[in-house]
A = this chain, B = another copy of it.
Amino acid sequence: MKIQQREKPQVAVDIVVFAIINNKLSILLIRRGTKPFKGYWALPGGMVLKNESLKKAAIRELKEETGIGDIYLEQLYTFGAPFRDPRGRIVSVSYFALISKKYKPVLKPTTDAVAAQWLGVKKLPRLAFDHKEIISYALKRLRWKLEYTNIASQLLSNYFTLSELQHVYEIILGKKLDKRNFRKKILSLDLIKPTRRKRKGVAYRPPQLWKFITNKHIVLDKRELVF
């Protein structure tokens, strides 16, 4: 390898935060206050600083540009196509989170962001850079996680009916599901278990309450192996 062919790119982080807002799967975007793509919506993110770890950079940028702190970020994927940024080579390490139902953050953009807002994933405006591609990868990851982990538990109470669970799955998958089919499939995934409790006072035949099996952890890294 010839030395002169090497390149010192900048390394950036971009953060994809999902939440359910008004029954819609939404994503946290900021409006850029600086060039390039000034005025465009984009993922919160920015350059990694000297002596700063990648994850710390992601936590800092998210806090600066949206006001959100204290959420668990998981590394998603690294995007490094040579011409993805007009300023020169910038490799972006993306991070990912799904905000729990209990957490209601106040958005407070500063630094490079002039606005921060939740936008529904189904109708996104034109975005800066390759952020549409990053979001589409993150959506895919979120949807797998419905199958392999208890990630949906973030959006439910500890005890829930199968209808409530189906509603969360429908919102994240972005489509209606057949009730019988959903029940069959969700049981085959071995993610939830029935409890002895029932939802009280709502119907003549109160529905059974279920809970997540705890070893099916939100973060695949932390999930226990079957064997």
Contact = CB atoms under 8 A, between A and B. Distances in A.
Interface of A: 1, 5-11, 46-54, 64, 75, 77-78, 80-83, 89, 91, 93, 111-112, 140, 143-144, 146-148, 169, 173, 177, 182, 185, 188-190, 220-221, 223, 225-227
Copy count, this protein chain: 2
Nearest to A170: B227
A167 to B, nearest CB: 13
Contacts of A220: 144
Most chain B CB within 10 A, of A11, A46, A146, A148, is at A11
Contacts of A221: 140
A187 to B, nearest CB: 11
A48 B78 CA distance: 13
A83 B47 CA distance: 17
Contact of A147 (B7, B11, B143, B225): B225
19 contacts: A1-B64, A1-B111, A5-B50, A6-B10, A7-B50, A8-B8, A11-B11, A48-B80, A48-B91, A51-B83, A53-B81, A53-B82, A78-B78, A91-B91, A140-B221, A144-B220, A148-B148, A173-B225, A177-B227
Given A54-B80, A185-B226, A91 B11 contact: yes
Contact of A46 (B1, B49, B51, B111): B1
Contact of A93 (B1, B53, B78): B78
Given A6-B47, A75-B77, A190-B188, A91 B54 contact: yes
B6 A50 contact: yes
